Amino acid sequence: MPIFEYKGLTKDGKSAKGIVDSENLRAARAKLKKDGIFVTDLRDKKKASATAAKKKQGSKTKSVPVRDLSLMTRQLATLIKANIPLVDSLTAVSEQVENPTLQEALSDIKNMVNEGSPFFKALTKYPAIFNVIYISMCEAGEMSGTLDMILIRLAEFTEAQNDLRTKVKGALTYPVVMLTVTIGLLFFLFIFVIPKMVTVFESAPQLTMPWYTQAVIDISGVMVNYWYLIIGIGIISWLLFQNWKKTPRGKTQWDSISLKLPIFGEMNRLVAVARFTRTLSTLLTGGVPMLTAMQIVRNVVDNDIIASAIDDARSNISEGESIAGPLKKSGQFPPIVIHMVNIGEKTGELEKMLTQVADAYDFQVKTKVDAMTGLMGPVVLIVMGFVVGVIVFAVMVPMFEMTNLAG
């Protein structure tokens, strides 16, 4: 027999809650009414438990904005640095954060830590919020007793990575918008404007069309009659391209191509190198072992070609050799990076050298992004103006000839 949870009021106006077994909701409500309870909420206990479990599972798969995570990390670091116990610090921070997903995760993590679980172990329950870098550094900080310093470095690292990602996305937004506008304008001209002009031209049988005008008319005819095929082919091509990129072979080939693209290839390499140096520096400074740090970094660069070079360097390190040799042999890292890594290994200041390289490459990425943004705008406008100008010219020449014939 189904069991129902209820909330209600007694005849005295006092709150009442509990469970009642009955055949259905209607019978349960009648039973409670007979017992003198005015029901305010009544639900199937099994369904309510399933909904709660589903909601809790959903919180584990939801990510949170980088800004919220960074702010929370700084607040937690400040409290721990003030010698406030970790459980109390988590309690205070969970009450301050505004993001409900992060708040729920912190409350659960606090309970797990309070029950004796290590902090970094509790973080692994929420992989969508706390990535492997975050968890690895917290583990190193917790083991070494420097969790407050590690959390501050994590906040700085998270903000730096977010700034880099934002700059790159910002550089791509304007060209994409302009390209979309251009394509939309061309569709409008070919599908709506040019067919009307063709009707005008057909009213003058003696008019001879120049080859470029005829080409524009033919293209317009194809787009008017087969526009659905053009859109369909475009969508299918895009989906096939995305599926190809997801295959191991396709991803490797695309990663290789992305490093050789005009303009964008150099920027992609700069971004990957900046991620490599910044992440490795942060992990090593946080006390993460070199082999573990290299394994984490290979996944952060998000490029199979550069990741392969990092794998070779990791194998060298496991055999007691240097990291600089395989990086140089791969040909994927700029000479300055190899030079700084080599000096860092010899002087024992690898973390410091990597930080300097990361700062330099972050600046280069910003410079390249600004230059590309400034260049792409005029280029797209010139291309758009040229294409539209050709179409207008192809239409206006016959119009002038029609005027001459009429005269």
Instruction: Tell whether 393 and 276 lie within a shared domain.
Output: yes
Q: Could you say which of 159, 187, 203 is where a domain stops?
A: 159
Q: Which residues pair with 20 in a beta bridge?
A: 4
- Look at residue 311 and tell me if it is in a domain: yes
Tell the burial category of 246 from Cβ atoms under 10 Å away from its Cβ (0-12, 13-18, 19+): exposed
Domain that holds residue 13: 3-59
Residue 166, domain member (yes or no): no
Domain shared by 289 and 387, yes or no: yes
**pLDDT for residue 190 is more than 80:** yes
16's tokens = 């009442």
Domain count, the chain: 3
Report the pLDDT value the prediction gives residue 396, as an integer from 0 to 100: 84
pLDDT band at 236 (very low <50, low <70, confident <90, very high): very high
Q: Do 116 and 239 have their domain in common?
A: no
Are 214 and 185 contained in the same domain? Answer: yes
Instruction: Examine the domain organization and report whether 355 and 206 are in the same domain.
Output: yes
Mean pLDDT along residues 208-232: 87
Q: What is the pLDDT of residue 240?
A: 94
**Is 91 found in the same domain as 11?**
no
Those residues with Cβ within 8 angstroms of residue 366's Cβ, 6 or more apart along the chain or in another chain: 167
| Residues 320-373: tens digit of each pLDDT | 777 888 888 888 888 888 888 888 888 888 888 888 888 888 788 778 777 777
**Cα separation, 288 vs 273, whole angstroms:** 20
- Distance, CA of 174 to CA of 376 (rounded, Å): 8
Q: Residue 86: give its domain's CATH number.
A: 1.20.81.30
- Look at residue 58 and tell me whether its pLDDT is greater than 50: no
Does residue 367 sit within a domain?
yes
| pLDDT confidence bin for 53, thresholds 50/70/90 | very low
- Do residue 404 and residue 258 come from a single domain? yes
In DSSP terms, 18 is beta-bridged to: 6
For the segment 105-156, what is each residue's pLDDT rounded down to a tens digit?
998 999 899 888 899 899 999 988 888 878 888 887 887 788 888 888 888 8
Per-residue confidence (pLDDT) for residue 48, from 0 to 100: 56
Are 33 and 97 members of one domain?
A: no
pLDDT for the residue 54: 46
On whether both 273 and 353 belong to a single domain, the answer is yes
32 lies in the same domain as 100: no
pLDDT at 55: 47
What average pLDDT does range 225-246 have in this prediction? 91
Position 60 confidence tier, pLDDT thresholds 50, 70, 90? low
Q: Are residues 226 and 180 in the same domain?
A: yes
Q: In this structure, is residue 309 part of a structural domain? A: yes
* Mean pLDDT score, 170-179: 76
Domain boundary residue, one of 34, 59, 84: 59
- The reply to whether 119 and 20 lie within a common domain is no
